Amino acid sequence: MSAIESVLVENRVFPPPAAAVQGARISGMEAYNALCDEAGKDFNGFWARLARENVVWNKPFTRTLDESNAPFYKWFDDGELNASANCLDKHIGTPTENKTAIIFEADDGAVTSITYKELLARVGQFANALKAQGIQKGDRVIIYMPMTVEGVIAMQACARIGATHSVVFGGFSAKALNERIIDAGAVAVITANFQMRGGKELPLKAIVDDGIAMGGCTTLRSVLVFMRTPTACAMVAGRDKTFDEALQGQSSDCAPVPVGAEHPLFILYTSGSTGKPKGVQHATGGYLLWAKLTMDWTFDIKPADVFWCTADIGWITGHTYVAYGPLAAGATQLIFEGVPTWPHAGRFWQMIEKHQVTVFYTAPTAIRSLIKAAETDEKVHPKNWNLSSLRILGSVGEPINPEAWMWYHRNVGGERCPIVDTFWQTETGGHVITPLPGATPLVPGSCTLPLPGIMAAIVDETGKDIPNGSGGMLVIKRPWPSMIRTIWGDPERFKKSYFPEEMGGTIYLAGDGAVRSEDRGYFRITGRIDDVLNVSGHRLGTMEIESALVSKTDLVAEAAVVGRPDDLTGEAVCAFVVLKRSRPTGEEAKQIANELRNWVAKEIGPIAKPKDIRFGDNLPKTRSGKIMRRLLRSIAKGEAITQDTSTLENPAILEQLAEKL
């Protein structure tokens, strides 16, 4: 049975175990329903109450939600706060100050830890170093760092002085970095000489140099380099400084700069349906509230917990559930530099045992690859480690197939830990549809119900509700505090992408298809409805990969990219390519395909490399010249073509494109 089929017939229900219900912040469905009712009756009052209870304000807000310029919603906008103060200073003078904030396990297994008080001092000192570089409130700073304590410190230090950070994942290319520096108008890049992954030393600073050398970075003044390894890297005099140089003589005292609640805390680039990534802009107040609140609601975080989110700080998950949420919640968290399969595929389980992790949050793609590893090598099966410290498991980034869910439940959770399948997006800032560990009965493969105050629904193209049991488009009908504020520098695209006119222009369109179950009204996400792919939980635009391919102008005439289901990565990238020369076959085709793969890795990053490349003399087009993507999706899946091909100009090429290399 395929994953999709098994989801459709899924009828197992797992009520929350008594131990999880007891003492949970939201304990039982009655408590969940009561919060939903509160939000339904007095929407603004509900959010105002939570914002007062969960955020430390320098200046209290008097306005909760301003809808006067919808969809440019404002939350708590006359209030002032500092995000870093809400993560660090808030704990000083409480028992949390001497608590471990971060346990760091390096790639090579070396473990260090840092308390809240120590972290505050490191952040303060780094913030002073940023100020000494002339970086001020409102400036944009690119962070291109490995998973390290220093990465979190860099983000927190920006927040502390009111600079807007934009973290670029360490796997992105020089070109991607160049585009982001320019688009954000960044004044500085914070990076490391190298990053350590799987025992290998991989360059970061050299890629920054290449990215800047591509030109156009007119706003950029300084580059700060964390020396992660002893290996030297090229330094440009007058522009580049090591962390040691920048920190020298800087005091660890730095007063947090209060900013307005709507001040942009960060910009995070993500893929959309055009070739150009979108700079998703988040505000400070609403975002911080959400990071804190969802740590409490979704993870039911308690003082004794050891929280571990495996996401990289280069993604939104690493922002909300590494850099901000756990600190705002005063939790102890584990940060891991390396990869799950090195030196062996039992590393995650070993680390859970070693650090007594209680709440573990990872992606289905990681679970699937570790299932595969455990099936081929008994020695890396989770049963070899004592995982009894765990109490809650989480999943994020893509739908989790019921098989993987059951394995996670049995072999990692010991049939004792609720699994929170959290649906959300870069744009939502944090969880929006998710089970609550002490309340929601679980159904494998379903993200269940919206958080209180999240008015999620499934609608048709006109915004009309669709009955349970039928598929449609996922929307959120009312704004929420941690929502995207705009696309950096492109408010028109913001409106067009997320608030379709046909639905009235104020309803948030998620870009996912979904269906609600007839019995419980549970949401199940069926996948993107736009030209966005989800490969191993990473978002990739098909157009982005297409433009990368056609930018190889000496070789490529035309390209179309679609996704196809993949057992391991969820979706895989499949590219159909027409070359400027005749269609290659055999060894030559393989060799050109490899050349194109490496080209895409250089243009975007290795995660965007097409798994499958097919060559044709042409692409299937309608008479009006539109590429028939639906047809390509069928071909990519290896399905027989059942669609109507009568409008197809050139039916013969379907056979060519079906040919695997």
Contact footprint for ligand WT7 (CB under 6 A): 270, 315-317, 396-399, 421-426, 447, 510-512, 525, 528, 534, 539
Shortest distance (Å) from residue 367 CB to ligand WT7: 12
Eight-class DSSP state of 403: H
**From the CB of residue 566, how many other CB atoms can be counted at a distance below 10 Å?**
17
According to the annotation, is 229 in a ligand binding site?
A: no
Considering the complex, state which of residue 512 and residue 531 has its C-beta at the smaller distance from ligand WT7: 512
According to the annotation, is 364 in a ligand binding site?
A: no
According to the annotation, is 490 in a ligand binding site?
A: no
According to the annotation, is 564 in a ligand binding site?
A: no
Shortest distance (Å) from residue 474 CB to ligand WT7: 8
Shortest distance (Å) from residue 321 CB to ligand WT7: 9
Distance CA 557, CA 247 (A): 51
Considering the complex, state which of residue 130 and residue 265 has its C-beta at the smaller distance from ligand WT7: 265
**In sequence order, which ranges of 322-464 are alpha helices (DSSP H)?**
325-328, 347-355, 364-376, 402-407
Considering the complex, state which of residue 314 and residue 438 has its C-beta at the smaller distance from ligand WT7: 314
Q: Using alpha carbons, list the distances in angstroms from residue 427 to 273, 430, 482, 525.
A: 14, 8, 8, 16
Question: 132 with 274: CB under 8 angstroms?
Answer: no
Shortest distance (Å) from residue 553 CB to ligand WT7: 30
Considering the complex, state which of residue 183 and residue 398 has its C-beta at the smaller distance from ligand WT7: 398
Q: Using alpha carbons, list the distances in angstroms from residue 133 to 333, 427, 511, 548.
A: 31, 31, 40, 35
Question: 14 with 441: CB under 8 angstroms?
Answer: yes
**From the CB of residue 334, how many other CB atoms can be counted at a distance below 10 Å?**
25
Q: Which of 451, 475, 447 is nearest to 461 (CA)?
A: 475
Shortest distance (Å) from residue 450 CB to ligand WT7: 13
Distance CA 191, CA 202 (A): 13
Considering the complex, state which of residue 193 and residue 486 has its C-beta at the smaller distance from ligand WT7: 486
Considering the complex, state which of residue 308 and residue 615 has its C-beta at the smaller distance from ligand WT7: 308
According to the annotation, is 398 in a ligand binding site?
A: yes
According to the annotation, is 421 in a ligand binding site?
A: yes
Shortest distance (Å) from residue 532 CB to ligand WT7: 7
Considering the complex, state which of residue 447 and residue 562 has its C-beta at the smaller distance from ligand WT7: 447
Greatest Cα pair distance, the chain, in angstroms, is 74
Considering the complex, state which of residue 270 and residue 284 has its C-beta at the smaller distance from ligand WT7: 270
DSSP element (H, E) containing 344: none
Considering the complex, state which of residue 211 and residue 399 has its C-beta at the smaller distance from ligand WT7: 399
Question: 102 with 113: CB under 8 angstroms?
Answer: yes
**From the CB of residue 143, how many other CB atoms can be counted at a distance below 10 Å?**
26
Shortest distance (Å) from residue 206 CB to ligand WT7: 27
Residue nearest to ligand WT7 (CB): 426
Residue 424 in tokens: 């959300």
Shortest distance (Å) from residue 509 CB to ligand WT7: 11
Q: Which of 320, 408, 393 is nearest to 359 (CA)?
A: 393
Shortest distance (Å) from residue 398 CB to ligand WT7: 5
Considering the complex, state which of residue 80 and residue 421 has its C-beta at the smaller distance from ligand WT7: 421
According to the annotation, is 397 in a ligand binding site?
A: yes
Contacts of 233 by beta carbon, 8 Å cutoff, 6+ apart: 193, 194, 203, 205, 206, 225
DSSP string, 19-35: HHHTT-SS-SHHHHHHH
According to the annotation, is 471 in a ligand binding site?
A: no
ω into 343 cis (within 30 of 0): yes
According to the annotation, is 528 in a ligand binding site?
A: yes
According to the annotation, is 37 in a ligand binding site?
A: no
Question: 291 with 320: CB under 8 angstroms?
Answer: yes
Distance CA 311, CA 290 (A): 18
Eight-class DSSP state of 433: B
Shortest distance (Å) from residue 562 CB to ligand WT7: 16
Distance CA 443, CA 119 (A): 40
Q: Which of 484, 527, 77, 541 is nearest to 268 (CA)?
A: 484
Binding residues for ATP: 397-399, 421-426, 512, 528, 539
Binding positions for CoA are 197-200, 317, 536
* Residues placed in the known binding site: 197-200, 317, 397-399, 421-426, 512, 528, 536, 539, 550, 556
Binding residues for Mg(2+): 550, 556
